[in-house]
Structure 1
């Protein structure tokens, strides 16, 4: 069933606001019709079907699907996704774009691998190496910032804290 331009405008506005009367007024219906009879627009089968179809479409666009999630994890793992951080400088604070740190990238890789099982030994070794490098880098930062200087490196690739 084809909708009139007014019905379509009403339905689109109703989706945005959820207000029957205001949506009818916005669509061009008279004030008296909007106040007394706008509920009839929602009872119209064509309008009802149009609203349901648009709501499903909006829902599918708003919710991330598994392909999009894996693409996002991949961009994080590759260091392609930049984040804005605030850095203190002698002059004040400034914002800087930086890629995800190594631990975040490792976590993204692990999440991707959970979705693609296969336990590739090469991948396991690469993750183990990256984890060790992350631990070393973290300890170097601690040493430079004045910690006690003790270095412990955990090379278990399946640690829960990374």
Structure 2
């Protein structure tokens, strides 16, 4: 893979934040008169395109909750180990923050979701379906 120039790297980094090629080209130091064309051209260059795709994938892995994290958070809620912050204002105008355990309703919902994940609540359905195919122009009366 070709190495990016400083300006190309700056363009790619700005593009990752804004997803606007023209503005990214201008911020990276390209001329405003040809920023649109350069922005488009930069996005078609394989080494810049590859750099942008790799960085976006890395960002997605940080931003998107992975399965294990979701299961850990659900488990904490189901066990009642999760707290929520309660904010109240006194008559004197003071803000008071307190923590309280999540409600039993929220714990039950977490338990239900964990049960679904582990397939504890699958209903066994016996479906006996009979079908009859009749082609156009045919009838049961013909032999």
TM range (shorter): 0.5 to 0.7
Instruction: Give distance in 1, aligned partners of 2:28 and 2:91.
Output: 57
> Could you say if the C-alpha distance between residues 50 and 79 of structure 1 is closer, same or farther in structure 2, counting changes exceeding 3 Å?
same
Instruction: Give distance in 2, aligned partners of 1:114 and 1:37.
Output: 51
The residue that corresponds to 2:81 in the other structure is 80
Instruction: Give distance in 2, aligned partners of 1:90 and 1:22.
Output: 50
Instruction: Give distance in 2, aligned partners of 1:60 and 1:112.
Output: 23
State the 1:23 CA deviation.
Answer: 0.6
Which structure is larger by alpha-carbon Rg, 1 or 2?
A: 2
Superimposed CA distance per residue, residues 24-78 of structure 1 (whole angstroms, 9 cap, x where no aligned partner): 1222223344254332111111111222222222223222222111111112123
TM-score by length of 2: 0.66
1:108 matched to 2:110? The reply is: yes
> Could you say if the C-alpha distance between residues 53 and 90 of structure 1 is closer, same or farther in structure 2, counting changes exceeding 3 Å?
same
Could you list the runs of 5+ residues in structure 2 that have no partner in the other structure?
122-143
In the TM superposition, 1:47-86 aligns within 5 A as 47-86=48-87
Residue 65 of structure 2: SS of its match in structure 1? Answer: coil
Could you list the runs of 5+ residues in structure 1 that have no partner in the other structure?
120-162
Which has the larger helix fraction? 1
Instruction: Give distance in 1, aligned partners of 2:25 and 2:102.
Output: 49
TM-score by length of 1: 0.60
Aligned length: 119
